[in-house]
Amino acid sequence: MQRLNLFCVWMIALWLVWMGGCGEKTDPLPDGGNNRTEYTISKAEWTETAVRKVLHTFAYGGFASDQQIKAWSEMEPQDAIEDILSAKVFNKRLSPPDPVDNLQDRGGTLQTLRNFWASTDASNPTQPDAIKNYSFASWNVAAETWFSAVKRRGINPVRQALGFWETNYHLCVNLSVGVSPQQALAYYDRIMDAIAENKPYQTILAEAALSPAVATQYNHKDNVFKDGKFSGNEDFAREFHQLFFGILGGYDHAYHEFTTIRNTAKALTDMVVKRGKDGTNSFWDDQIEYGTKFHYPGGLEILKQEIAGNSAKEKIQKLAEVAIQHSESLANLPVIIVNGFADDNLTDEKLQIIRKIWADLQTKDLLAFLRRYAISTAFHNATRVKYWSSINRLVLTHNLMTLGNKETYLGAFDLSNAFYNEGVSPFRPNHDVFGSQTGREASLTADIFKRAYNRSVSGVWEYVRISITDKQDKNKILWEKDWTSHLPKNADGSYRVKDTAEWLWNRFVADGLKNFGSLERAHVYALLASGSDFAYWINKNDPLKVYTKTEIETDRLLIDRIQDVEKARLDGLSSADAKEKQTANKRIGLAIAFITATPYMFAQEGK
């Protein structure tokens, strides 16, 4: 353990330096389109690294093979991005099915997946002692279901990335303030099904606004208009405009506060949420009635337009059509989306491109917008910086570190504990309706970095875990890790230190080796070749010595040692000797532990 701690000083210094530095006319293409726009990157810029950046941002890394990533990079970006970014429940090229569980036969929504993982079906690989986690009696059932969906092959990870952002940030609901797990899962599926069907975004936002989950979250399920008087709250009336559509009221502040918001609250009357019962447990069900008896009769002036309708449903659907075209929404909503997914360093130039992409869409379609953005000069931009939240970083690490679904069912890398350790949980957002932990909070908080660093050192056992045995029969191996199924081979069929190191860096950091400098190489090479820290590998009698970048690049003895080791064969990976093979696979885990503790795993650069 001491040897792994030796790079601590270097890591902190690198963290401080790097994080300090991070600081067109076209025809509308509603489906994402195949025609190049003036803000689309060139074919030459659409490289394997560009594809990996898209996968890291919108798919938690995805599960595509290196061959598939290469194939996408050789396609026109407009064609490739439609293949990659989909909200369907399955995307076989991005997330190939795994015969361990055949999830492609399970429906693919969070509700159908929960039903499967909670069942006693003989084909359910969930460990017997974990099945209870998927019961609605479990405090964390919604989170456990999402954990399992986002980390398993066969399920589309883009759908989970979009669904998580919509329900935990943009259109946020919170189990800690009364929303039931039944409501949260149904809310998530309803939104994602609508996105997958390419419904106009205003229709999707209206459906979310009219849902039982949101009515329970903000408690406007109790709003009524009775005996000529309104009784209820204006909380969601305000957030419908501000959070859902980006309308802050700058167009006319007094009018917005005293007419738009107050009348929107009246539009949200007589929405009755039903109670359900599961055994002896009562909960808010995913059922709602849009009544007329206690609904505000007649039209209401909102956003300076007359909004008519006989029920909350009719009025909110009509209001959404007005809100999506409001000047503040046109300016702010696309920025909210991009800032949430991909860029914490928006410049005037990028804002102009983002707003133009949104404006060019005749129908405001979320997927069409994200597809255009993901191949735009605003996304593939040297000034773009996205700080990863704890959830983004941990899921990304998990998905790239696991090689199949069996190890996820056996709990080789425990996401639940990792999230808990960093103070985050799906569907229990840190900031209530304003969303979960932000990337800036995670990346710029010393405590989060310390916890992540400690996970790669004190908790390194998860990274080097290469087998799991049966609890009753310790001689029975249930699962064994074998990186040779993914690692690149040399021309002679061997595995080499340099090739393996570069492959690992590109897999986890996705920067085309831009930041894989002499210091990083020295540490990764040493771990792969010896399982030891660089200083210990160089001189075990002086393990606390800190080697500088200048020394590594100018000291002839160090240069020669590094050049020799980078050509070294990792024969243990293909050895017939079980112990040698295990040792080699553990060293891969040590290298991953090092890479995932570097600051480059806390944020992504656009280029």
Which residue, chain included where needed, has tokens 């795993």?
A: 601
For residues 483 and 465, the answer to whether their CB atoms sit within 8 Å is no
Q: Where are the alpha helices (DSSP H) in 477-577?
A: 497-509, 518-530, 534-538, 549-554, 556-566
- pLDDT of 595 > 80? The answer is yes
Give the pLDDT band of residue 279 (cuts 50, 70, 90). low
Residues 6+ apart with CB under 8 A from 40: 77, 78, 372, 375, 376, 377
Burial tier of 16 (Cβ tally within 10 Å: 0-12, 13-18, 19+):
exposed
Please give the helix or strand (H or E) that residue 603 lies within, else none: strand 603-605
* pLDDT for position 100: 95
Rg over CA atoms, the chain: 26
Residues 6+ apart with CB under 8 A from 603: 19, 22, 385, 386, 387, 388, 439, 443
Token reading at 365:
């379609």
DSSP for 271-288, please give it: EEEEEEEETTEEEEEEEE
Residues 532-550: pLDDT tens digits? 999 999 999 998 899 999 9
- pLDDT of 18 > 80? The answer is no
* pLDDT for position 22: 58
Q: Measure Cα distances from 61 to 66, 111, 398, 454, 469 in Å.
A: 12, 24, 9, 23, 28
- pLDDT of 488 > 50? The answer is yes
Closest CA to 7 of 534, 600, 607, 403: 534
Q: How far apart are CA 525 and CA 463, in angstroms?
A: 17
Q: How far apart are CA 324 and CA 320, in angstroms?
A: 6
Token reading at 112:
């159908």
Q: Where are the domains of the chain?
A: 2-10+450-605, 42-179+329-444, 203-323
* β-strand partners of 307: 300
- pLDDT of 26 > 80? The answer is no
Instruction: Give me the count of residues in the chain.
Output: 607
* pLDDT for position 282: 74
Q: How far apart are CA 134 and CA 114, in angstroms?
A: 6
* pLDDT for position 473: 86
Give the pLDDT band of residue 457 (cuts 50, 70, 90). confident
* pLDDT for position 280: 57
Residue 273: phi and psi, rounded to 5, are -95, 135
3-state secondary structure 354-419: HHHHHHHCCCCCHHHHHHHHHCECCCCCCCCEEECCHHHHHHHHHHHHCCCHHHHHCCCCCHHHHH
- pLDDT of 4 > 60? The answer is no
Residues 189-206: pLDDT tens digits? 999 999 999 999 999 999
For the chain, percent of residues with pLDDT exceeding 70: 93
Nearest-10 crossing angle of helices 497-509, 48-58:
50
Q: How far apart are CA 324 and CA 202, in angstroms?
A: 6
Q: Is 12 helix (H, G, I), strand (E, B) or coil?
A: helix
Residues 110-159: pLDDT tens digits? 999 999 999 999 999 999 999 999 999 998 999 999 999 999 999 999 99
* pLDDT for position 504: 98
For residues 168 and 390, the answer to whether their CB atoms sit within 8 Å is no
Closest CA to 270 of 312, 322, 332: 312
* pLDDT for position 459: 82
* pLDDT for position 445: 85
Residues 365-421: pLDDT tens digits? 999 999 999 999 999 999 999 999 999 999 999 999 999 999 999 988 887 888 888
Q: How far apart are CA 230 and CA 108, in angstroms?
A: 42
Token reading at 34:
């195949």
* pLDDT for position 20: 52
- Mean pLDDT computed over 479-503: 95
